[in-house]
Copies of this chain bind each other. A is one copy, B any other.
Amino acid sequence: MNLDILLQQVAFIHEIDKLKYIQRKTRLFNSDRRENDAEHSWHLAVMAITLAEHSNEPIDILKVLKMLLIHDLVEIDSGDVFLYDTIVNHDNTEAERKAAERIFGLLPAKQAKEFVAIWEEFETGDTAEAMFAHSMDRFEPILQNVSNQGGTWTEHNVPYDTVMDKTSKIQHGSKTIWDFTETLIDDSVLKGYIKKPDQE
């Protein structure tokens, strides 16, 4: 029955509205206002269609979009984990897995399975699509931080090596974007937004 399927899908559409309340650490461009996960997911999706040509490998851009649109939904239950958090691991946790089962489980079974698989592929991160999607996820906060006099780097005093460790994954998705990112990071060091060990 189409209606039964539709009702399950509408329950999912209703539930995911909560993503609009999940606050990230990063702030909007040139702004004090924190970004929420729904805004973030939208921005990454537009970035992906805009920057697709810079992917290292040919990618199925539709799959990248699906990943980016749903990648943070688990945070409705498990909350946003700050990229530079030194205690909580950002990777696929048991809490996130349970959240995926609950939230995608609102959908009809076949679709739930499909969405969980897309989310898992993003989390595992080893396909061309997942690597490009991760590049977008790392690149946006860099642009935001640069526009906010260092943003979360300055606020949380994130050391240079940690910034490099977390952001250098961009190169797996796009060497072009990573080359550009390195110039932004170098410039942020010069401006004092990011401290190198010998500067501390």
Question: Residues of A with Cβ closer than 8 Å to B?
Answer: 2-3, 5-6, 9-10, 12-14, 16-17, 19-20, 28-29, 35-36, 38-39, 41-43, 45-47, 49-51, 53-54, 61-62, 65-66, 69-70, 107, 111, 140, 143, 147, 176-177, 179-180
Contact = CB atoms under 8 A, between A and B. Distances in A.
Contacts of A20: 28, 35, 39
B69 A42 contact: yes
Given A50-B12, A65-B62, A3 B180 contact: yes
Question: What is the interface of chain A mostly: helix, strand, loop, or mixed?
Answer: helix
B176 A50 contact: no
A47 to B, nearest CB: 6
The quantity of this chain's copies bound in the complex is: 2
Contacts of A176: 2-3, 6
Given A13-B143, A41-B42, A65-B45, A50 B107 contact: yes
